[in-house]
Structures are given as C-alpha cells and as structure tokens.
Structure 1
C-alpha cells in the first residue's frame, strides 16, 4: 500500500490519557504531526499526563467507544489518520485475574475493531499495536525475541497474544499495514501508583518525609527488563516509518530483580530499603513469571533504535519527579 505524504501528517492515538499516549503525543507533536486522541467521554477524560507535559491544549480529544465498529469507522473517515496507535486497554496483570473478560475485550476486542475499521474504510492508515513481552510467559529465563513461542500465563498476556495474532492475520489476509511493538516494562513519572515502580517511588518519598508506615511488596526476586517510557515511544513511531510492517521486540536487553529497583529508589532519598520494606505473602502473584528477559537486537538492526536509560536512572528520574510534585503540592497548600 503506497503511502501518501501530507505536509502535516495526522496521528490518532487510542489510549492518549495513559503514560505511553502522553509521551507519544509529545514526540509526534515535536515531529510536526497533528495529534488526535480518543476517549469514551472527552469531558471526563483524564488529562493529567498530557497536562504534566504541557500538551492539554495541543491535542484534540474525540469521543469514541472503540467497541463500536460503526463509530470507529466513522471517526477514521472523519480524521483520515496517517497513523493509528492502539495503546489502550486494561494494563494491570493483577487486575486481569479479577476482570478477565473486561481485560480481553479492552485489548483484543478493541484491536480487532480498529483493524476491521481500517480494512473496511480502505484508508492507507498504518496501525501500531502495543503488545507485551508478557505474551511469552515463562521461557526458562532465556531471552525472548520475535521467534519465541507464545505461552501467556495470565489473562492480560492472553489478551495481548490474541490481539497480536489478529494483527498478523489482518496483515496477511487483508493487506492492512499493521505491526506490533512487543514491549518490555517501561516506566516514567506518569505511571499510576497501581504499578509497582510508582508504588515504590511514592513510598520512598513518603518515608523520607517522615511517614513511618513500611512499604509492603511481594516477591522481590522476580526479574524484568525495565526501560524508560519516553524512549519507547520513539521506537513506536519509527516502526510505522519502515517500508514494510514488522513486529519487533522493544526492550533494553538487560533484566534485573525488583529488589534492584527498590534499592535504587530508596538510595535516591538516602535510605536503606531493608529497614523500610516488608514482604507480604498476600501480594505474591500466582503463576508469576520468575525471570523475563528480552532480546531487542532486531529492533536495533531494523530501526537503529536502542534503549539507553538504565534501571538506576529510571529510578532516579521517577524519584526526582515525585519529590518535585510533592514539594509543589506543599507550596500550593501553604
């Protein structure tokens, strides 16, 4: 499918209110794009991430229920986006056990609707789907790459795997220009506190400020590949600039134990984490993948992209942002 180059390309972001959506919007605006986001109700859309980056007045938010195929097609016809980014969906593994149906619909169901809308409208829109290395499940600690067998072990990963399969099917059978970024964990100050990295960051700052309640965590020995979210959205955009669509693993290539992130975060505020963290067996996750490693070699080869921010730098940036935010809150209350 030939690409039409317009003076100002348009990007449509489903999931613009989340961490990745906000950073992607910032990157695309810097590249000269017109950026449009979607929300079921624009009037109540959570714009805190956009506001934190100074973008709330630079993007348009359109009403869309992505489970409504007819409405999705109509919005595509109206906006005619050059690029469509699907970053939406329930994103908590823990919550996916409690809400498996909601998780599946919000990820796999919405992805199929977006793919079908692109197919039916016959627009030359290129689609990016945010997949996850969680799809690979337990690979025995060996690095996963694009050829690794998919073995999802939780409802969230199963939904991502189903959506990933649909992207491949629409690409092969219908010629839709679509690809999946298979993302490892990537963090930032825009993470909600329900995510463990922000939970740790917030607790370290609170304890440094005098709160005595310890931080309760589950298994600190689990290993993940943690990166810096603003770098990952650059790769998302780059994937839609290639001649042909290709699914790529996006990761740092380095996995560390959760304990390392905890230690770094507490060290940033001058604390020994071992004095302030307790293990709570109620927080242990069933079917937890012990060690998840990823090989981003193909992304480096195809895109020239490499994640550069280390886990220590991620922790430091998140702590610094949290301290600044907490201090600003105190100043406003004074």
Structure 2
C-alpha cells in the first residue's frame, strides 16, 4: 500500500525535488500552494501530483488539507526563505516562517496526530556561531529576522514532539542550492550574472561580502535526508550539510572560470548588499546524520557550481531566438 505525503511549499526548489523523490518511491503526493499560477518547477510532474489551494498563514486551509488527505507524512517547506528579504519585512517573515509552522503543527495534532512531520529548520539559527563546526547541540544565536523565526519554528517542533508525543523532526539545513534556486539568492544571482556577461548583456556583477563562508550542498541531495528522517524508529533533529566551507569568492571564481572569464574583471563589491548583521562563517557537523541515517551528499561543491552555470547558459540559449529571456531583453 502506497504512502501519502503532504508538502507545503511544493512549488519551491526543495518542494519540487522532494515531490520527484516521493513519486519515485510510489507515494501519493499532495502539495499545498498559495498561487496556482506559480508552478513552473512542477510542470514535468503536474499530472502525477494533486495540488490544494492554501497557505501556512491560513489555519482553516491547513486544517482542511490535513483532515481530507490524512497524510502519512507531512513536509513543511513553506517559508519566507530569504534572509535579505526578512530585514525588509520582518513581520511577514515571522507570520510565515515562525507562526506558519505552529499552524501546521496544530493542524497535524488536531486532525492527523499519527502523521510524521518534517520541519525545514535552518543553519541560520546558529547565526553568530559559538561553536565550530555547528552541530545539533550548538547554541542558537540568530542574526536576522529570518533566523529568529526559524528558532521559534525549531523549538515549536521540539515542544510538540515532547509534549504530545508526535513524530516531528527538524532538519537543520545548511545552504543548499540548485538550478531551481530563485534568482533573489546570491548563488543564482552569480550564475545568472555569469550567463548575462558571457552573452554580452552586462559588463559587471555587483555583490556583497565575498569573504562570507558557507557550507553549500545540492538541494537534490538534501531532500533525501528529509525523507530518511521520517523513516526512522524515533523522531529526532539532524544537521544536513556537507562538512565543507567555501567562500562566496570561491563560488564566483568557479562560476566565471566555467565560461573562461576572470571574475576580478567583472565583480564589483557593493556595500548595499551587505547584511545589517553579517554571519561570516558557517560549517556543519554532519556526523550524526551520516551515522544514524546513513546519508551522504553525492554532488560536490565544484560540481554544484558548474551545474548551475551550465543550466543558466542553456536557459539563455533556449530563449535567445525569441529575443527575450528570464535574463531580460536581448537588445
């Protein structure tokens, strides 16, 4: 008998990869989406999944979805997920990324308490890190409204697990990227910029702190860890990372090198892209996840950067004949 899964945020980067993974495992996959029009990443699998209209700011929509579907597993990936955007609208970030999680937990508790729930926590909970590398027991010290919201969500998940005996897991996800990453994130901004410069549309790429260090992995690998957490005998929290840190400068260097260019000729450091409170170094200790789940990342950092550059170049070339693209007008 196949299992049933409900994914909030199914039309985002992680949601689309997770949906594909679960379909491969013969799940019946349902997704909660706020905007039916924003389904680009799901187009290859739209006929294989069922979508429900709703969002994590609306308790009724969550209650209805969970009650009707009675899922075996719930993956809460919905969030306002941009650290930079959280400074622009901290209240909305808290409403979605913090209280939204509480609403999902309540919907499951009230209508389907035996379901297993995954909550997408974040390395941003560590913020101004007090331990290197960061592990499941590292103290939280968030440095942005997004990080603060994720701390709330993380502890709410732990509290529901301990208070109600629910099977709830936090996956403390370090930075994970892919060609499906939104253009507002620095990694995709870089690979998009490389494609534009390579094709003569731009002459520079303006970025913030090039020396910030991050533990970057491939989103397609990370969703496997999400699924593995919910297959265990007991619920727990796990760091998902690669155990390697690289700078933004490293990312930029590899991306420009892929098209035979020297990034120093094109990249301009612009102070307006610096965070109000910078997080300079993040590195995950993934030993617990590897030992208990048996999870290993498959895509190396260099492969990830090259993958993203090549896909952006392919996207550009595929629409070039139409004289327009996601990169802007081709004048």
Tell me the TM-score normalised to structure 2 length. Answer: 0.95
Pair 1:208-2:198 in alignment: yes
Aligned to 1:165: 155
TM-aligned CA deviation for residue 122 of structure 1: 4.1
Aligned to 2:320: 330
Aligned to 1:50: 42
Aligned to 1:150: 140
Asked if the contact 2:130–2:139 (Cα under 8 Å) also holds between the matched residues in 1, the reply is: no
Gaps of 5+ in 1: 1-6
TM-aligned CA deviation for residue 311 of structure 1: 1.6
Q: Distance in 1 between matches of 2:253 and 2:34?
A: 39
Q: Distance in 1 between matches of 2:258 and 2:35?
A: 39
TM-aligned CA deviation for residue 243 of structure 1: 0.5
RMSD: 1.4
Asked if the contact 2:225–2:293 (Cα under 8 Å) also holds between the matched residues in 1, the reply is: yes
Gaps of 5+ in 2: 325-331
Q: Flag as ranges the 4+ runs of structure 1 deviating above 2 A.
A: 65-71, 331-334
* Equivalent residues in 2 for 1:311-326, closer than 5 Å: 311-326=301-316
Of 33, 40, 43, which residue of structure 1 is paired with 2:34? 40
Of 236, 244, 264, which residue of structure 1 is paired with 2:234? 244
Asked if the contact 1:252–1:308 (Cα under 8 Å) also holds between the matched residues in 2, the reply is: no
* Equivalent residues in 2 for 1:184-199, closer than 5 Å: 184-199=174-189
TM-aligned CA deviation for residue 211 of structure 1: 2.6
Q: Distance in 1 between matches of 2:112 and 2:258?
A: 52
Asked if the contact 1:141–1:293 (Cα under 8 Å) also holds between the matched residues in 2, the reply is: no
Aligned to 1:260: 250
Pair 1:19-2:13 in alignment: yes
Tell me the TM-score normalised to structure 1 length. Answer: 0.94
Of 60, 68, 84, which residue of structure 1 is paired with 2:58? 68
Q: Return closer, same or farther for 1:122/1:188 CA change in 2, 3 Å cut-off.
A: closer
Aligned to 2:329: none
The superposition leaves residues 147-167 of structure 1 with CA deviations (integer Å, 9 ceiling, x where unpaired) of 100111110000000000000
Pair 1:282-2:272 in alignment: yes
Q: Return closer, same or farther for 1:308/1:141 CA change in 2, 3 Å cut-off.
A: farther
Q: Distance in 2 between matches of 1:209 and 1:121?
A: 53
Which has the larger displacement, 17-26 or 209-218? 209-218
Describe the SS at the equivalent of 1:56: helix
Asked if the contact 2:178–2:219 (Cα under 8 Å) also holds between the matched residues in 1, the reply is: yes
Aligned to 1:4: none
Which has the larger displacement, 230-239 or 74-83? 74-83
Of 213, 227, 244, which residue of structure 2 is paired with 1:223? 213
Q: Distance in 1 between matches of 2:193 and 2:60?
A: 45
